Structure 1
Amino acid sequence: MLELYQLEGCPYCEVVADRLDELEVDYESVWVEALHSERDEVKRVSGQRGVPVVVNEAYGVTMAESERILEFLESTYA
């Protein structure tokens, strides 16, 4: 299952979550801390602390940056 690391109120995260919903992709939200210094889980999976981050083990994908994520979603699920 796809995992979306996101932050409450993050507009970039919301765009990705909305597109996942539109494409009817099952995903699990992993909510992260507001402080960058406390985003250890995001750092562990992606090597950086920014969100959104998508992890899709079925496709061997871990990526950040909403534009890249949206391109991946379009090419994989649309």
Structure 2
Amino acid sequence: MSLTLYRLEGCPWCELVVDKLDELDVEFESVWVEALHSKRNEVKRVSGQRGVPVLVDDEYGVTMAESAKINEYLSASYA
């Protein structure tokens, strides 16, 4: 799988990205993260910060955070 989305249950910004991925019919893997920022070590390792959503696109070597930026990237790369 080339796209991985780090997300949190009930996170509205994460759902915006999921909605865009579904709209574009793009397959992705979800990695569910802990609610406590201090326990999001995997997110920190891949992105340098602990916030979600974080999208990792292995095919293009892209890692990014912030739902609006992620959705712009998805529209430009997968539409």
TM-score under structure 2 length normalisation = 0.97
Gaps of 5+ in 2: none
Shift of 1:56: 0.4
Gaps of 5+ in 1: none
* Number of aligned positions between the proteins: 78
Q: Is 1:34 aligned to residue 11 of structure 2?
A: no
Shift of 1:30: 0.3
Shift of 1:18: 0.9
Which residue in the other structure is 1:13 paired with?
14
| Aligned residues: CA RMSD | 0.4
More helix by share: 1
Q: Structure 1 segments of 4 or more deviating over 6 A? A: none
Shift of 1:13: 0.0
CA distance in 2, matches of 1:71, 1:14: 15
Shift of 1:43: 0.1
Which residue in the other structure is 1:74 paired with?
75
Identical counterparts, % of pairs: 71
DSSP 3-state at the match of 1:59 = coil
